[in-house]
Structure 1
Amino acid sequence: MNSFWKNITKYPKFLISIITGFFLTTFYPIFKLLTTNKNRFLFIIILNLILIVLYYTVRLMLDVN
């Protein structure tokens, strides 16, 4: 029974490492693109456009004035 609880306590560490690895592998290419000023400026413009589109979409969906 002792080995069962020892095995169960390893799962939260495993879950945290999986989530951390997912975010690192997902965002690493984006951070690599941000090294030059041209790409950084383009990324900021694209991010702002996405946020503006989402804002207006949610605003129209919820009928907020």
Structure 2
Amino acid sequence: MNNFLDNLYKFPRFLLTILIGFFLTTLKPIFKSLKNKKSWTIFSTIIILIIYVLYLILKLMTN
């Protein structure tokens, strides 16, 4: 039973490590491509459009 509880206490640390690793490997190519100005403008435009579309969807859902 003691071994089970030790594994249970280790699980949140394991989960956090997996999530951090996932986001680092996912976002690293994006940060590499944002070094030039053209990529930065395209990326910021896409982010603004996504936020605007989500705003419109939520506004229409709550109306």
- TM-score, normalised relative to structure 1: 0.78
Long gaps (5+) in structure 2 = none
Q: CA deviation at 1:26?
A: 1.6
Q: CA deviation at 1:40?
A: 0.3
Alignment partner, residue 58 of structure 1: 58
CA offset digits 1:27-57 (Å, max 9, x no partner): 1121111111110011001110111111111
Shift of the 4–44 alpha-carbon distance from structure 1 to 2, 3 Å rule, reads same
- TM-score, normalised relative to structure 2: 0.80
Alignment partner, residue 14 of structure 2: 14
What is the percentage of aligned positions where both structures have the same residue?
Answer: 48
Q: CA RMSD in A?
A: 1.5
Long gaps (5+) in structure 1 = none
- Which protein has the bigger helix share? 2
